[in-house]
Amino acid sequence: MSEAFWRKLSVLTGLFALAAVFGLTIFAANLEIKDLDLWLHIGTGRYIIEHHFQVPKTDVLSCTIAGKPWNNHEWLFQVIVSQIFERWGADGLINMQVALVALTMLVLFFLGYNRDKQLTTIFFLLLVSLVYQGRFTIRPDLYSLLFFALDILLLSFYLHRRWVIYAFFVIQVLWTNIHGFFFFGPLFVLLGLFGEWLKRSVRLPYQWNKAGRLTNEEYRRLKFVLAAVLLACVFNPQLIKGALYPFTVIFQLSGDSKIFFEKIVELKRPITSSTIFSLQDYPYYRLLIILSAMSFYFNRRKLDVGIFIFWLVFLFFSLSAIRNLIFFAFAAYLVIVTNALAISFKNLVPINIKDKRFQHITAIVAKAGLAIWIFNYGSQMALHGYYDFAKYERKSEYWGVSLRSFPQRVVDFLVENKVKGNFFNDFNSGAYLVGRTYPDIKVFIDGRTELYGPQFFKYYQSIWEKDNADEFVKALDKYQLTGVFLNSNTSPIPKKVLKRLCELKDWVPVYFDYDGVIFLKDTPENQAVIKAHQIDFAKIKPYDIDLYRFGPMRAEPYQPISRGITLYSMGYDDAAVKEAQIAIKMSPNFMEPYKILGRVYAQKKDYELAFENFRIAVMYAPDAQDLHISLAKVYDDLKKYEFAIREYKKIIDRWPHDQEAYFGIARSYLNNQEFDKAIHSLKVAHKIAPEEVDDILEIADRFFSDEKFALARDAYELIVSQEKRLDEICLRLGKIYVRLNENEKAKEAFERGLQHNADNRELKNELRRLQPEKQLEEQPTPEIPHEQPTLGDQVPSEQLHRSDLAGRNWGW
């Protein structure tokens, strides 16, 4: 067959592969609604429309920062999604995402398509699609990506046209009111101008001064484009202040704001020192970095310096946060297709193959292989889904609203009962509450991190993440809260907070299920709902499942598991056991029900049953670090010290920086009378967690009670530099020094303890005993009968045995 035939067949095969790329991308864009912040946008958009398009300039959604200045730079997106949701529901929003993604991919296709380099376009467009799928969340980013591609298209092909200035202006006005990344518009133009200035003013190597150089007319027009996009940035409700918004955020990225990058997944770095060589984390993104860098090498003689600067900027931008990966993917695609124009087949393949038919056949095989891979990849994606327990059927992960991401039923309760007031809520629930219940309910916190600021976020973290029940109770009064919304749909509720809430007499539970708990304050406004729905947890019925209808379905029984964890946290152990047993009946091969049973039985000191369940749990989840710790503790409680030590050693081998494992093995060594190994493990634990006091104090007390005074001294000295419980530490350390006949050191320890707590009577008494008679005459005090040195009333010796050690935390 002729060379022309193989060339045409290669082109047709390429078009088929391109269709497969677009088909895969469009299918993936139909992902069910999972994004939390979408509901915040819907609620805010509804507010703007109801107030005749007046964009709020201060917070109106929360009960904690109400009235705080708010630069709402995404108001236009919020209006768009609220109107689409109002008219067409969730499917309308998904269709909007599909349309935006398809249009963006089409622009990228036109940017990079070259019939002679068809395989290059297909392969790298596929890589972009695979990275793109990580951002298929209905957010303003979708519009930013479209505007990104359109700006690059205009700069690449239409800069010689007069209308390009007006096109840039319109795009920039829309971008400025839709997403905070609108600063990319001026950035693109500035990078283009800087690159052009370098080509015209600096002597560069090879042919860099000529590569991609603009005509004088294009260079002049690019300056007008810069003026147009800068002017367009001012067209927003906050004018100059709104235009400067990105810079205010950038300047806030250091200091306290770093907490957002540590706690919010999408703001974390995609590549760290520990994952730099990992092939599992973001492989397509990493491949784009490598291949785009290689394209510069192969095109090093005709390198476009402006494109290279553009690539560097977005590489560093993407390395700063996971959410930015797709922007680098777009930049890398542009770089590769640009460099590919100057790279021939000979540059890539050292063998000189002159037969055109062989080249075409090779391309056909490669394109067909890509198409087959895409089909298989898409087939696997289509299988993604989970079980819908309400309908007793499997739900696809595409189309509709996720049943696992949002606490739908618990919010339905609020809406149906028309509950109003100021509510405490977790961070992940705030946006959903705004979208479904505003203005009836004002939230404690939501996803607007830049508005709440790092200090408030840390305050929230001190309650939720650190499970600080005392701070939680203060917040109830400080913000005049009338409701508490605790979401358990995706993660357990903090145990101490939940338990304290149950103890407050003026707070009444009115809703409980797998997705959360609602407590209402006993106020006149809440009386009707409380009277109709008050819950007595002692009489709570277990999760109801029709096992005959459920059949042999292998599905995670997350609903009874979630209920069981919540009930356990509240102290209703028997009810938690029933939920766990139901979960095991439904699907016995998941570890969480056994974990619940293990925790309950360990708390009841039925260590044999606890061991049985933790052992099974570890079998089903061998990578669960906390389960290995629990199993080791139960071994210790059963006085199987050699097995406890064996388990702790396994943990240390796999997780060498686990402080709990080192503290645990120190206790087991101590119980097994291996004192030197115990103190060694304790010192290692202290190096890992130098701020930890309670565990070291507990083990040091054990050394004291076992009359291992030198070891006790070594243990106390590890923490004597800490401020926490310093008076107790100094008292114990001083008594150890007395036992070791080191009275001067004892005196120093007692005096230091008194400096920390001058009211500690026991420290005063011990210090008086060490003072000479002359000093006693100078400081007359009532005579106190001499007592044998003990550790004081805080730690009676009979409570120092391992089986009764205080501070055991079996919580989730």
For residue 284, the Cα-to-chain-centroid distance in whole angstroms is 21
pLDDT band at 799 (very low <50, low <70, confident <90, very high): very low
pLDDT digits (tens, 9 = 90+) for 25-55: 999 999 999 999 999 999 999 999 999 999 9
* CA gap 702, 663 in Å, rounded: 13
Among the listed residues 430, 423, 416, 567, the one whose alpha carbon sits nearest the alpha carbon of residue 482? 423
682 is written with which tokens?
Answer: 């304790």
| 214, 279 Cβ separation under 8 angstroms | no
DSSP state of 493: P
| 685, 666 Cβ separation under 8 angstroms | yes
Average pLDDT for the chain: 90
pLDDT band at 728 (very low <50, low <70, confident <90, very high): confident
* CA gap 73, 248 in Å, rounded: 13
Q: What is the arithmetic mean of pLDDT over 423-437?
A: 95
Q: Which amino acid is at 410?
A: V
Among the listed residues 497, 521, 499, the one whose alpha carbon sits nearest the alpha carbon of residue 510? 521
Among the listed residues 595, 612, 659, 669, the one whose alpha carbon sits nearest the alpha carbon of residue 636? 669
For residue 696, the Cα-to-chain-centroid distance in whole angstroms is 32
| Choice between 86 and 114, residue whose per-residue pLDDT is larger | 86
Residue 776 has pLDDT above 50, yes or no: no
The 10 Å Cβ neighbour count of residue 89 is 12
* CA gap 589, 554 in Å, rounded: 9
Angle (CA) 356 362 368, round 5°: 135
pLDDT digits (tens, 9 = 90+) for 152-174: 999 999 999 999 999 999 999 99
Residue 783 has pLDDT above 70, yes or no: no
| 249, 183 Cβ separation under 8 angstroms | no
Tell me which residue has tokens 């790298």: 124
Tell me which residue has tokens 């795009």: 171
Q: What is the arithmetic mean of pLDDT over 328-334?
A: 96
pLDDT digits (tens, 9 = 90+) for 618-677: 999 999 999 999 999 999 999 999 999 999 999 999 999 999 999 999 999 999 999 999
| 299, 292 Cβ separation under 8 angstroms | no
Among the listed residues 614, 584, 591, 616, the one whose alpha carbon sits nearest the alpha carbon of residue 602? 614
| Choice between 720 and 569, residue whose per-residue pLDDT is larger | 569
pLDDT band at 800 (very low <50, low <70, confident <90, very high): very low
Share of the chain above pLDDT 90, in %: 75
pLDDT of residue 791: 45
pLDDT band at 538 (very low <50, low <70, confident <90, very high): confident
Q: What is the arithmetic mean of pLDDT over 529-543?
A: 94
Tell me which residue has tokens 């709902």: 529
Share of the chain above pLDDT 70, in %: 93
Give the sign of the dihedral formed by CA 639, CA 641, CA 642, CA 645. positive
Q: To the nearest 5 percent, what fractions of the chain are helix, strand and coil?
A: 65, 5, 30
pLDDT of residue 803: 33
Beta strand pairing call for 483-487 and 393-396? unpaired
Residue 617 has pLDDT above 70, yes or no: yes
DSSP state of 256: G
Q: What is the arithmetic mean of pLDDT over 202-206?
A: 93
Q: For 386, phi and psi rounded to 5 degrees?
A: -155, 170
pLDDT of residue 183: 95
DSSP state of 806: T
Least confident of 657-666, 705-714, 795-804: 795-804
- CA distances from residue 753 to 690, 721, 737, 746, 772 in whole angstroms, order as listed: 20, 11, 14, 11, 20
Among the listed residues 607, 613, 601, the one whose alpha carbon sits nearest the alpha carbon of residue 635? 607
Q: What is the arithmetic mean of pLDDT over 254-268?
A: 80
- CA distances from residue 591 to 155, 561, 587, 628 in whole angstroms, order as listed: 56, 10, 10, 12
Q: For 591, phi and psi rounded to 5 degrees?
A: -80, -25
Residue 789 has pLDDT above 50, yes or no: no
pLDDT of residue 352: 59
pLDDT of residue 345: 57
- CA distances from residue 296 to 192, 208, 307, 474 in whole angstroms, order as listed: 18, 12, 10, 59
Q: For 424, phi and psi rounded to 5 degrees?
A: -85, 140
Among the listed residues 607, 506, 642, 451, the one whose alpha carbon sits nearest the alpha carbon of residue 44? 451
Alpha helices in 73-140 (DSSP H): 75-112, 118-132
* CA gap 75, 609 in Å, rounded: 57
| Choice between 644 and 280, residue whose per-residue pLDDT is larger | 644
| 309, 354 Cβ separation under 8 angstroms | no
Give the sign of the dihedral formed by CA 759, CA 763, CA 769, CA 771. negative
Q: What is the arithmetic mean of pLDDT over 279-304?
A: 93
| Choice between 457 and 115, residue whose per-residue pLDDT is larger | 457
Q: Which residues pair with 425 in a beta bridge?
A: 485
3-class secondary-structure state, position 800 = coil
Residue 389 has pLDDT above 80, yes or no: yes
In b/e form, how buried is each residue of 347-380, taking b as 16+ CB within 10 angstroms? Answer: eeeeeeeeeeeebbeebbebbeebbeebeeeeee
Residue 784 has pLDDT above 60, yes or no: no
Tell me which residue has tokens 């293990």: 598
DSSP state of 443: B
34 is written with which tokens?
Answer: 């999972």
| 516, 489 Cβ separation under 8 angstroms | yes
pLDDT band at 3 (very low <50, low <70, confident <90, very high): confident
pLDDT of residue 779: 45
pLDDT band at 775 (very low <50, low <70, confident <90, very high): very low
pLDDT digits (tens, 9 = 90+) for 97-141: 999 999 999 999 999 998 888 999 999 999 999 999 999 999 999
pLDDT band at 796 (very low <50, low <70, confident <90, very high): very low
Among the listed residues 512, 590, 581, the one whose alpha carbon sits nearest the alpha carbon of residue 558? 590
Q: What is the arithmetic mean of pLDDT over 459-466?
A: 93
| 295, 339 Cβ separation under 8 angstroms | yes
Long-range contacts of 155-158 (CB under 8 A, 24+ apart): 155/188, 155/189, 155/192, 155/222, 156/111, 156/334
| 398, 30 Cβ separation under 8 angstroms | yes
Tell me which residue has tokens 């007595």: 536
| Choice between 260 and 223, residue whose per-residue pLDDT is larger | 223
512 is written with which tokens?
Answer: 């409980």
Q: Give a three-class secondary structure readout of 505-521.
A: CCEEEEEEECCEEEEEE
Beta strand pairing call for 385-388 and 393-396? antiparallel
pLDDT band at 812 (very low <50, low <70, confident <90, very high): low
Among the listed residues 266, 319, 222, the one whose alpha carbon sits nearest the alpha carbon of residue 428? 266
Residue 185 has pLDDT above 60, yes or no: yes
pLDDT of residue 757: 87
* CA gap 382, 710 in Å, rounded: 66
* CA gap 625, 653 in Å, rounded: 12
pLDDT of residue 780: 47
Q: How many helices, marked H, and strands, marked E, lie in the chain?
A: 37, 7
Beta strand pairing call for 516-521 and 507-513? antiparallel
Among the listed residues 769, 767, 745, the one whose alpha carbon sits nearest the alpha carbon of residue 758? 767
pLDDT of residue 347: 58
3-class secondary-structure state, position 395 = strand
pLDDT of residue 802: 32
Q: Is the peptide bond before 439 cis (omega within 30 degrees of 0)?
A: yes
pLDDT band at 263 (very low <50, low <70, confident <90, very high): confident
pLDDT of residue 354: 63
In b/e form, how buried is each residue of 141-155, taking b as 16+ CB within 10 angstroms? Answer: bbbbbbbbbbbbbbb
pLDDT band at 1 (very low <50, low <70, confident <90, very high): confident
